[in-house]
Structure 1
Amino acid sequence: MDRDKRIGRRRWARIFACGLAGLLVLAGGLGLCAWLWRVDLARWSLARVLEDQGFGPVALTVDGVDFGRIDVSDLSLRGGAVAASHLAVDFELSALLDGRIGAVTLAGLILDLADGPSGLEAGGRPLLAPDGGGGASGGGLGIEIGAFALDQARITYRSGADVWTVGASTTLSLAGSHVAADTLTASVEGPVGKAALTAGAVSLDLPAEGGVALQLAAAAVDLPDLPWALSGATIGVKLTDGGLQTTVTGAVLRNLQQPPLLIPVSLSGQAGLAGDIVEFTVQAATLTAGPARLDIAGRYDTAKAALDASIALPPVRFAKDGLQPVDFSPRLGALPGKLWGGVGLSGKVTWQGGKLASDLALALDDLGFAGEAATVSKLKATLRITRPWPLVTAAGQRLTATVSSAGESADIEFTGQILAKPALKTENIAIQAAGGTLRAGGFTTSLDRPAIDTVVEVSHLDLAEVTRILGIDGLTGTGFLDGRVPIRVAGDKVTLTDGALKAQGPGTLSYRPGNLPPQIAAAGREMELTLQALSDFRYDSLAIEFAKAAEGEGYVLLKMAGGNPVLLPGQPFNFNIRLESNFARLADLVLLGLRSAQDFLGRAAGRQNE
């Protein structure tokens, strides 16, 4: 019995050993077959996984497979809408069973995206919604990738007639629906131009509700077609079925021209694309001790290429020993003198059909500056700008100011407009000076080479002030004058022709010169009588005629009739006396308002139109 049991145990041992050996041989054979056929198995498995994720039809070539790496070339998904020249996957078998991949390298990626009825599409179907099965339903791929290297990717995004192209290289990590990267370099080209982008950190998520959420930190943007650059920005981009949303915070905008058009400014904003409409808001603030803030809000119609935006610049206060325009724009460093007072801007800007227009209000509050022709103070105006570049204003713009020059001062009121040439069209200038009013207008002058040819209408001018301004030795008087003064200015040359002022009624005139004019000195025995009569002359009529050539001295011709109450009472006298004068101070008075308004508006238009 024992012997039979021992024989039975040996028989089962032989059977088990033979079975085990057979299994090992079968396993080895299967392993050998799997190793021999590993490329075909890998091709089939990878294609099956990608098709289950909704990326079919799939075409690829497996170049190599071992226990820790797969190399794939000529990858094509969605019929070529997603493609890559090379794909390498590094893994460990134990981690792979848990859905974890060590590293993926993707070179030559081509991704063709478009807006569709169901949102973002690739190959005519939703980008991430599978055709059935798979683990990608709204929550990403369900795979964790330790490192994802993207080399020379090219992404095309089509929205209506607009086409955007992005080229990028980066190294990413992917866990389920979350993608992160330390660095990113990219180029972007679209309907509005080109841009080069770098970012210190990148985060991309595929939310369960669908779409794509991208965030860039420490981002910098260069615009090759424009002299502007953006740095230090945090940029968020979200693609959903409803469109595109973008936010920018913490950015610094710099002008690359020399000298810069604008100092660096901090920038933040939001933009949203829905259909053909982009709605946006932008907040900018200068990086100065006394910052200026600019708010812009508007919309852009991509189908019509039409822009409509509102602008608000709260008043900026300048001071002689404080904030100056050069603190905002180094290009204004050549402006003479200091500026003081307040400047604000508000209104709308539109762009349509290739034409820029605006309805902006430039508010000047008690502004002052030392100009080339005069010192201007208490300047007040609200100028309506109908085109910001080149600067053009509406007709009938009014400004008031107090100006002083060559020891004289006057209050002026200017009405006119800036034309696009650039030129200044003067409708009316009223100068309150010397107790009366001087008016001129109806002329247009270039702002880059000023020229004036007009007639100044004079009313109720105080003779005492006129004689003081003329500065003729020993001449004083009382009364009020009216008249006309034709004046021509070309550069620094002033011409007065056939100017005449007449007294409104009787008055007094006293002439006691230290040096006798030639016509009085030549009067011989009548000289003493003439000087006595002029020392206290009571005129019944008085006319002052004068002229001055562009070069050289001018003259004044006094024509008066009357008498002296002490010398030969009741004896009428008629005098025609020609007196030499350089007219410098009279010309300054006449030109005070004309050239001051021209100087201020010329600065504004000339600087803007450079």
Structure 2
Amino acid sequence: MTKRRTILVWAVAGLTLLVLGLGFYAGIRWQQLKRDLGIVTLEVSGPRLTLSQFAVRQIVLVRQPSADERLAITLNDLRLDFADGWQLLPLRSLNIKRLDAQWQPATENDDSPPFYLPDLKKVIDGSTWLPRQGLIHSLGLTVPCASGTCQAQGQLAWQLGEHNTLPATLDLQLDHQAHRLALALNAYERDTDTHLDLDLQLDGQPRLSMQNQLTDSSDSTVWRGTLAMNELPEAPWLLDWLSEWLAYSPPALPTLPEQMRIGAGWALEINRQTLPQDWKALNGELRLSANLPAPWPVVGLGQVQGQLDLSVRANDGFWIPTELNGDLTLQPAADLLASLPEQLRPRAVSLKIVPAQNDETPHTLPLSMQLATRGPSPMTLDTRLVLQTTEPYTAAFDRTQVKLRSPAIAGADFSLKGLEADLRLRGRVSQKDATIRLEKGSQLRLDSLTAASDLTASTLVMALAGLGAEASFSDGQIQRLAVTGKTAVTAGEVKQPALRPQGWRWSGTLNADQSQISLDGPLSNDAGISLPLKLTHNRVDSATRLHISLPELFLRAGNPLATTLADWPPLLELNNGRMQGQAQISLPGSGPLAASAKLSAKGLGGIYDRTELSGLDAELSAVLRRNQLRLEVSELTLREANPGFTFGPLRFAGDYVASLDTPAQGRLAWNVAEVRLLGGRLWLEPGAADLAAGTQQLHAHLRGLQLPLLLEAYPAEGLSGTGVIDGELQLQRSEAGISIEQGSLQARDPGGALQFRSPKIQALGQANPAMRLVTEALDDFHYDLLASDVHYAADGKLDLGLKLHGRNPALEGGRPINFSINLEEDIPALLTSLQLSDRVSETIQRRVQERLR
């Protein structure tokens, strides 16, 4: 007895330990299962189980498999009835008093597995576990929508076959304020086909019916169906309800006519494995007929009115019309054309398509199409379209004309007024390529164009005849796009601060593709200038390059630059010689502008202000980089200049560097700066000057000035002499002008002679005994010393402190005589007097006289 008791105790203890172990293991597995399914809350209240039913007072389930995905379900008063005879399946009925569901889907992930359409037969066969009938008395859904979060309230009921899933019915009712939407689905099998009939009622009135017949094979489904709707007076409240779920603002609607009719029928073969990812899995036919006597709202499109009859055939996802006839008017939704400038957005669009006469070409659908828009910028399109309804599918169009008129279009940095477009087109489009040509008469016209760079052009005409576009496609994407052809642009008048107002013209070749746009041709104006131009814009990095050439200009026939450039010096006239040049401008997508230019001049001659110029040769180059301008003068030679007396040649070679922000405050450097002056040479040693400083000091050397030439140029009657003058001049440049603070002149040994034999001087000596010795000495004065200090003010006053030592052999036995003479001369007045003589051209004389007046 003791042994048995011991065995019983150990058996009870072992069983207890086993139960505890199984419970502990089950708890661990349950927690693991909750983590795998993302279940964070599962509460079951008031469960009751009998032989015939299972009831629960409340079930709360919260599933959150990821941080941004959440599903919360609450069920109240659930009752599940079992089948008779201790059978678990099929379940007899499910009754739920209240079901609330809140769903927040996960953020879309491109790495998620692809979705495939299920096999309908397998779905039906796998639904045998569903209760034969069910009723959810109160259904509440909270799901995301266009306005944020939307709620729906209603009721759901279903009825399945007694032993099989089909036949089955499903009834869904949704309530919105005082209105009700009822959706009834009836599914049944007939032979090998599955039929799904759908009926929609609004406020108890039948509004839409849809019949579907599905035939499954191993990997595809044949879907046949029809749809019919004859009226929808409930549209105002229905659209208001839908606007909460969709990004759509319902318009104010008139009373919709009862004769509204929409009908459709289709027979499509669907590849269940590839349809969601590739619409090429679709084959079959579709027919649609609609008659909308009054504007009818279409979500995301606008209000549509008119009639449409359409038959299309799908061949591997490509839809081709086989019949088409329509007359439609669209009032676009506010956001449909939001990407267009406001002035181009139409208020209404009308489209009319009618079958055209067939020329008995088989498998073609000829159509005549007219499209017109009403609004600030009305547009019309009139074309004849021929569709090839068998492979290879093509659409050919000819006799196509597009017209557009717009009084004004304004953008961020431009403004157009009086736009008129008249385009004549023909072309062909297929699945693989497209070709479009602009024919004779195609052009764009503008009354005026204003750009942000203070550029204004009026009476602008762009001739587009001859332009063509070609494109190739692959998998619905453009692989190649090219626009080529000759075009021309004329502007009646172009205004820009750097240019004189006048007409401009450009004609040449346009080439454009997906990577760049290029223009190549001459740019000319009314002044007679013609500039070969080549512009290239890279669409990848937004960089623009411009190359402009200035062909050789012969200025004897006129100077077109002077009548083109607004900043051309008004006092500079060039009437001889030739010049040519070229320039390159590079504007990167980001960063500063870069440019370079070269100019060559040969034998230029003319007038600058009151100086005649002749024989000017120059080689100039300029570079702009990182906002710094560098001008190099490799050669500048002026053979002769005449401001009233002749000097030359003048030579200069050097460079100038300045910031573009302060172009007049740069650094001027030279290695050659000299001028031949009255038989001598005046020059600067190689050096540099900082023009940003207040003053610049320069040291000039004078060697070999011929005194006879100086006295010949100086307008003093009866004065002549011999000798050679050298000197040193300390020049200073300031805002006031050029001045000489320290300067010295001296005649070379052994000196020379001066003769001053003016009748006026002789008469002065006769009348004034004190001047008699001076006049007699200067009658034939042989000097051995001629020196002077030089002071020249910025206002043009020249002061000479002259020292003269020598003798007159015929006076008092040739005894030595010393003179100290202070001379003052107004150089501008002196030059004016010279320029009023016949030493200069009539043009300079006229300019001097005009200034004096």
Q: Deviations over 1:109-130 (max 9, x none)?
A: 95899xxxxxxxxxxxxxxxxx
| 8 A contact 2:290–2:309 mirrored in 1 | no
Residue in structure 2 matched with residue 65 of structure 1 by the alignment: 291
Q: Work out the percentage of aligned pairs sharing the same amino acid.
A: 19
Q: 5+ residue gaps in structure 1?
A: 1-32, 57-61, 77-83, 114-139, 154-166, 590-610
Q: Deviations over 1:428-474 (max 9, x none)?
A: 5322221112224744559xxx9976443212111112233444565
Residue in structure 2 matched with residue 181 of structure 1 by the alignment: 401
From 298, 312, 327, give the equivalent of 1:74. Answer: 298
Residue in structure 2 matched with residue 133 of structure 1 by the alignment: none
SS at match of 1:335: coil
From 225, 240, 245, give the equivalent of 2:452. Answer: 225
| 8 A contact 1:107–1:152 mirrored in 2 | no
| 8 A contact 1:85–1:107 mirrored in 2 | yes
Residue in structure 1 matched with residue 701 of structure 2 by the alignment: 457
- The 2-side partners of 1:231 and 1:91 are apart by 40
Residue in structure 2 matched with residue 476 of structure 1 by the alignment: 720
| 8 A contact 1:106–1:148 mirrored in 2 | no
| 8 A contact 1:345–1:360 mirrored in 2 | yes
Q: Which amino acid aligns with 1:181?
A: Q
* 1:365 and 2:575 correspond: no
* 1:432 and 2:637 correspond: no
- The 2-side partners of 1:35 and 1:584 are apart by 100
| 8 A contact 2:303–2:330 mirrored in 1 | yes
SS at match of 1:466: helix
Instruction: From the superposition, tell whether residues 46 and 357 of structure 1 become closer, same or farther in structure 2 (CA, over 3 Å).
Output: farther
Residue in structure 2 matched with residue 108 of structure 1 by the alignment: 332
Instruction: From the superposition, tell whether residues 339 and 220 of structure 1 become closer, same or farther in structure 2 (CA, over 3 Å).
Output: same
| 8 A contact 2:746–2:787 mirrored in 1 | yes
Q: Which amino acid aligns with 2:827?
A: F
Q: Which amino acid aligns with 1:170?
A: T
| 8 A contact 1:107–1:150 mirrored in 2 | no
| 8 A contact 1:72–1:88 mirrored in 2 | yes
Q: Which amino acid aligns with 1:467?
A: L
From 555, 560, 573, give the equivalent of 2:799. Answer: 555
What is the 5 A alignment of 1:11-410? 41-42=262-263, 65=291, 73-74=297-298, 84-86=301-303, 99=323, 101=325, 105=329, 108=332, 142=365, 144-150=367-373, 169-176=379-386, 177=395, 178=397, 180-185=400-405, 198-203=420-425, 205-208=427-430, 209-211=432-434, 213=436, 215=438, 217-220=442-445, 222=449, 224-226=451-453, 227-229=455-457, 230-234=460-464, 236=467, 238=469, 240=471, 241-247=479-485, 249-253=487-491, 254-257=493-496, 261=500, 263-275=502-514, 277-288=515-526, 291-319=528-556, 322=558, 324-329=560-565, 331=566, 335-336=570-571, 338-340=573-575, 341-352=577-588, 353-387=590-624, 392-401=629-638, 402-410=640-648
Instruction: From the superposition, tell whether residues 333 and 531 of structure 1 become closer, same or farther in structure 2 (CA, over 3 Å).
Output: closer
Instruction: From the superposition, tell whether residues 364 and 444 of structure 1 become closer, same or farther in structure 2 (CA, over 3 Å).
Output: farther
| 8 A contact 1:299–1:308 mirrored in 2 | yes
Q: Which amino acid aligns with 1:284?
A: P
Instruction: From the superposition, tell whether residues 358 and 311 of structure 1 become closer, same or farther in structure 2 (CA, over 3 Å).
Output: same
| 8 A contact 1:64–1:71 mirrored in 2 | no
SS at match of 2:502: coil
SS at match of 1:207: strand
Instruction: From the superposition, tell whether residues 90 and 558 of structure 1 become closer, same or farther in structure 2 (CA, over 3 Å).
Output: same
What is the 5 A alignment of 1:438-587? 438-440=682-684, 442-443=688-689, 454-472=698-716, 474-488=718-732, 495-512=739-756, 528-550=772-794, 553-567=797-811, 571-584=815-828
| 8 A contact 1:91–1:101 mirrored in 2 | yes
SS at match of 2:464: strand
Instruction: From the superposition, tell whether residues 327 and 388 of structure 1 become closer, same or farther in structure 2 (CA, over 3 Å).
Output: farther
SS at match of 1:505: coil
Q: Which amino acid aligns with 1:238?
A: A
- The 2-side partners of 1:89 and 1:582 are apart by 93
- The 2-side partners of 1:474 and 1:521 are apart by 17
Instruction: From the superposition, tell whether residues 45 and 404 of structure 1 become closer, same or farther in structure 2 (CA, over 3 Å).
Output: farther
Structure with greater Cα Rg: 2
SS at match of 1:328: coil
Q: Deviations over 1:51-99 (max 9, x none)?
A: 999899xxxxx99607xx89765377xxxxxxx4355566799xxx984
* 1:422 and 2:663 correspond: yes
- The 2-side partners of 1:431 and 1:558 are apart by 25
- The 1-side partners of 2:468 and 2:373 are apart by 19
| 8 A contact 1:479–1:503 mirrored in 2 | yes
Q: Deviations over 1:323-366 (max 9, x none)?
A: 5435435x368823643243322242222343222232122233
| 8 A contact 1:150–1:172 mirrored in 2 | no
- The 1-side partners of 2:766 and 2:553 are apart by 62
| 8 A contact 2:380–2:404 mirrored in 1 | yes
| 8 A contact 1:324–1:339 mirrored in 2 | no
SS at match of 1:468: helix
- The 1-side partners of 2:299 and 2:484 are apart by 32
- The 2-side partners of 1:467 and 1:533 are apart by 18
Q: CA deviation at 1:505?
A: 2.3
Instruction: From the superposition, tell whether residues 298 and 34 of structure 1 become closer, same or farther in structure 2 (CA, over 3 Å).
Output: closer
Q: Which amino acid aligns with 1:367?
A: L
Instruction: From the superposition, tell whether residues 315 and 70 of structure 1 become closer, same or farther in structure 2 (CA, over 3 Å).
Output: farther
Q: 5+ residue gaps in structure 2?
A: 1-226, 232-258, 270-274, 283-287, 311-320, 340-362, 387-394, 472-478, 834-853
Aligned alpha-carbon RMSD (Å): 5.2
Q: Deviations over 1:492-531 (max 9, x none)?
A: 86643332112232232314275679xx999977x65554
| 8 A contact 1:185–1:199 mirrored in 2 | yes
Q: Deviations over 1:360-389 (max 9, x none)?
A: 212223333322252323222121121399
> Per chain length, whose mean CA-contact separation is higher, i.e. which structure has more relative contact order (CA < 8 Å, sep 6+)?
1
SS at match of 2:433: coil
SS at match of 2:712: helix
Q: Which amino acid aligns with 1:146?
A: M
Q: Which amino acid aligns with 1:325?
A: L
| 8 A contact 1:477–1:508 mirrored in 2 | yes
SS at match of 1:354: coil
Instruction: From the superposition, tell whether residues 433 and 488 of structure 1 become closer, same or farther in structure 2 (CA, over 3 Å).
Output: same
Count of equivalent residues: 493
Q: CA deviation at 1:415?
A: 3.0
SS at match of 2:632: coil
Q: CA deviation at 1:556?
A: 2.4
- The 1-side partners of 2:627 and 2:779 are apart by 59
TM-score (norm 2): 0.48
Q: CA deviation at 1:483?
A: 1.1
TM-score (norm 1): 0.64
- The 1-side partners of 2:563 and 2:797 are apart by 44
| 8 A contact 1:145–1:173 mirrored in 2 | yes
